[in-house]
Structure 1
Amino acid sequence: MQNYQAPEGLLTDRIILVTGAGDGIGRVAAKTYAAHGATVILLGRTISKLESVYDEIEAAGHPKPAIVPLNLEGAAVKDYEEMAMTIEQNFGRLDGLLHNAGILGTRSPVELYDPETWTRVMQVNVTAPFLLTRALIPLLRQSGDASVIFSSSGVGRKAKAYWGAYAVSKFALEGLSQLLADELDDERHNVRVNSLNPGATRTSMRIMAYPAENPNQNVNPDALMPSYLYLMGADSRGVNGQQLSAQSK
């Protein structure tokens, strides 16, 4: 998977929604999916960043994307349901969903962890993906081959001290991923669900988490794209309910 060579047109005619599409891995994944033929729905909270990605995709001559501005911290159930209705009206289905958006919170002992920060991290990293996926399942079922990817973390599989709400939120996402994979695992649904740990990557969140680390020692998001393409494309049919990693280290 990590050395996967995506064929040309792997995602042609696919409709794929990417959360956190304005920055980091989400930005690169959105552009990569578009370059392989997908119509990408860009979801994020900062319109200017989404417009920048939109312009780059359009300038490259790839399928015209769509923008969905949404603040996951404050969005209500009706916001997700209205968004799903808009997608249905414009596209009729959804073939892929990449949950990439997330926030770090603070790194501190649990006994000193700020309760408001905890609640905010859990809202963005867990409740929002739940509400979004819940609203979009009917559209995913309309696809003949749909894929859902939850972005995980090493600390969401093996907890480490001081990672607080971020680690717990990623554990929760692993559980949600496994739950959905089991619920949707039949021929009637045609939806596969997996979690993917990107590993140490040169992103702004990584710099926040490890301010003393030399960011140049980590790979760029582009290096992770073989895994993201494999899981989103038809070659990963049958891969369901797995905890996968985009890097070997």
Structure 2
Amino acid sequence: MVENDYTKPRGEGILEGKTILVTGAGNGIGKAVSIEYARQGATVILLGKTKRNLEGVYDEITDYGYPEPAILVVDLAEPTGDAFKTIGAAISGEFNQLDGIVHNAAELGMLTPLEIYVGDQWDHVFQVNVKSPLLVTQQCLPLLKEATYASIIFTTDESGIKPKGYWGAYGVSKAAILHMARMWAIEYANTSIRVNIVDPGPCRTGLRLLTHPGMPMKRYTPPEAITSIYTKLMDCDVLGHNGELFYAHDFINPDLDDRTERDLATSTK
């Protein structure tokens, strides 16, 4: 893990005064983005299903002296809409403000041929990866519409951009989220809400470990090094972008990329 230079004093960040919801905030990319948003002055709402992980991120943010975040323990695999209704209500009741959402939570499912893919597992992956971002966005729209400008960031994957065999429901769901995000962008093009998509690329995360077991994790980019595109899309720069796909690896912060030349030489997707 990179030792980040989280030293910017509170009150000097470009996201000062914003309230931002990050799903899947307990680890990996969601954790890194949440800490960076807090470093930039935002109040971050940490959403995830594991309270202990969220509390760990909460402690890191407050230990740095950044704005105190909030925790929302929600299982996005919940098949009914009741769990999602609590999200908008909780944010409205606590903050009465929301300036952005990062849809980062994801479920991998099985890497297996479509011929033998299990239907229940397919439904589970789509519930987390496609249906939950839809329902969360719907519940948060009233607050997003009240913001001077708001940004919604959806997360896709290489397997959703270019079909890859054996990636099953995960690959199809990531293709679906790319399409859905662009539909949101079209439908809200004449409002103050901007919708864009990020492909994080191969990163040093638990999900990557599951998809590439046995591969040295050091060869992959640490999630802390790819957060700049997420900040750019949550800042006023977002006004010039809508419905666009960004590759996070085009915005790597070299100061937070601890890979050696040897790691880079052997790096593969």
Q: TM-score, normalised by structure 2?
A: 0.87
State the one-letter code of the partner of 1:17. L
SS in 2 for 1:162: coil
Q: Aligned equivalents of 2:158 and 2:49: distance in 1? A: 26
Identity of aligned residues (%): 41
Q: Aligned equivalents of 2:63 and 2:232: distance in 1? A: 25
> Are the aligned partners of 2:44 and 2:70 in contact in 1 as well (CA < 8 Å)?
yes
Partner of 1:246 in structure 2?
Answer: 248
Please show how residues 217-232 of structure 1 align to structure 2 within 5 Å: 217-232=219-234
Which stretch of the first structure deviates more once superposed, 228-237 or 202-211? 228-237
- Over the aligned positions, Cα root-mean-square deviation in angstroms equals 1.5
Q: Aligned equivalents of 1:181 and 1:134: distance in 2? A: 14
SS in 2 for 1:247: helix
State the one-letter code of the partner of 1:233. D
Deviation digits for residues 53-83 of structure 1 (CA, Å, limit 9, x no counterpart): 1111111111111000000111531222222
Of residues 6, 10, 13, the one that matches 2:14 is 10
How far is 1:161 from its partner?
Answer: 0.3
Partner of 2:73 in structure 1?
Answer: 69
How far is 1:115 from its partner?
Answer: 1.4
SS in 2 for 1:244: strand
Inter-CA distance 57–75: structure 2 relative to 1 (3 Å threshold): farther
Of residues 36, 56, 60, the one that matches 2:60 is 56
Of residues 202, 205, 216, the one that matches 1:203 is 205
How far is 1:236 from its partner?
Answer: 2.3
Partner of 1:42 in structure 2?
Answer: 46
Of residues 89, 112, 118, the one that matches 2:93 is 89
Please show how residues 68-217 of structure 1 align to structure 2 within 5 Å: 68-74=72-78, 76-186=80-190, 189-217=191-219
State the one-letter code of the partner of 1:39. T
Could you list the runs of 5+ residues in structure 2 that have no partner in the other structure? Answer: 1-7, 251-268
Q: Aligned equivalents of 2:125 and 2:134: distance in 1? A: 14
> Are the aligned partners of 2:48 and 2:74 in contact in 1 as well (CA < 8 Å)?
yes
How far is 1:216 from its partner?
Answer: 1.1
Could you list the runs of 5+ residues in structure 1 that have no partner in the other structure? Answer: 1-5
Q: Aligned equivalents of 2:170 and 2:147: distance in 1? A: 32
How far is 1:121 from its partner?
Answer: 0.5
Q: How many residues align?
A: 242
Higher-RCO chain (CA-CA 8 Å, sequence separation at least 6): 1
Q: Aligned equivalents of 2:66 and 2:50: distance in 1? A: 22
Stretches of 4+ moved more than 2 A in 1? Answer: none
Q: TM-score, normalised by structure 1?
A: 0.94
